[in-house]
Amino acid sequence: MKNVIIFEDDFRIAVLLKEKINELADYQCEAVFSNPIEFLENPIPADIYLLDIIMPKMNGLDAIKKILALYPESNIIINSIREDSDTIFNAIQLGAIGYIDKQSFQMDYQEVFDAIQDDGAYMTPKIARKVIAHFQKKKNDLEKLTQCEIAITNDILDGLSYKLVADRHNLSIDSVRSHIKNIYRKLNINSKSKLFNTFKI
C-alpha cells in the first residue's frame, strides 16, 4: 500500500481528495496539511505528495526542495489551478514528477499514481499541451536566428559576460552587443530576463 500526503488549504477540496484516494485499492491517504510549514514541523514520509501551489505561509514551489531534501525518493505531483508556463516549468525544474490541472474534477487518481511508478511521470492534457507548445515555440524561435546568434544566445544563457562571449568567438565586444540587439529584435524581446524565459528548459 502506497502512502499519499495531501497539501491543500481548501478544507472541502482536501476532504474530497482524501476520500477519492482512500477508495483506491493500492493507495491510502493518512495525512492532510493546509500548508507546508505544518508538514515541515512534523514531517511524515510518503511515497507520493500531492501538492497545491497557492497556500498560506509557504507556497508549493518553495516546498518542493524542502520535501525532497527530507525524502529524496518520494514523488511530488502538483495539483493546482496555476497553469501558466513559468509555474509549470519551475515546478518541473525543482523536482515535481507530475502536474495536474486542479480543475480536472473527474481525475482518475489511480491512473495518475500508477503512471509515476517505475520512473514514470504524469501531466493532464491541458498541462502537457502547454509543455509541447513551449518546445514548439522554442524551436520556431531558434529557426529565426543564425548559427552565430544561436551560439551567442547559448553563451548568454550559460551566464557568460559579453567579454567572455567575445573572446570565445574572436569578436569585439561591440560586435557581440550588435548580435545581441539583432537577437532581441528577431525574438521581439528587450532584456536578458526575457531571453531566459524564452529558452528556459
Q: pLDDT tens digit string along 73-87?
A: 999 999 998 888 888
What's residue 184's pLDDT?
93
- Check pLDDT > 90 for residue 37: yes
Q: What is the largest CA-CA distance in the chain?
A: 66
Residues of the chain with pLDDT > 70: what percent? 98
What's residue 104's pLDDT?
67
Average pLDDT over residues 107-128: 87
First-residue to last-residue Cα distance in the chain: 35
Greater pLDDT, 130 or 106:
130
Residues 6+ positions from 109 with CB-CB distance below 8 Å = 20, 21, 24, 27
- The pLDDT tens digits of the residues spanning 48-61 come to 999 999 999 899 99
State pTM to two decimals: 0.75
Distance CA 100, CA 128 (A): 10
- The pLDDT tens digits of the residues spanning 2-32 come to 999 999 999 999 999 999 999 998 999 989 9
What's residue 124's pLDDT?
87
- Check pLDDT > 70 for residue 128: yes
The alpha carbon of 71 is separated from its chain's Cα centroid by a whole number of angstroms, namely 19
The alpha carbon of 117 is separated from its chain's Cα centroid by a whole number of angstroms, namely 19
What's residue 105's pLDDT?
60
- The pLDDT tens digits of the residues spanning 142-188 come to 889 999 999 999 999 888 999 999 999 999 999 999 999 999 999 88
- Which secondary-structure segment (H or E) carries 75? strand 75-80
Please list the alpha-helical segments (H only) found in 117-171.
Answer: 125-143, 147-157, 162-169
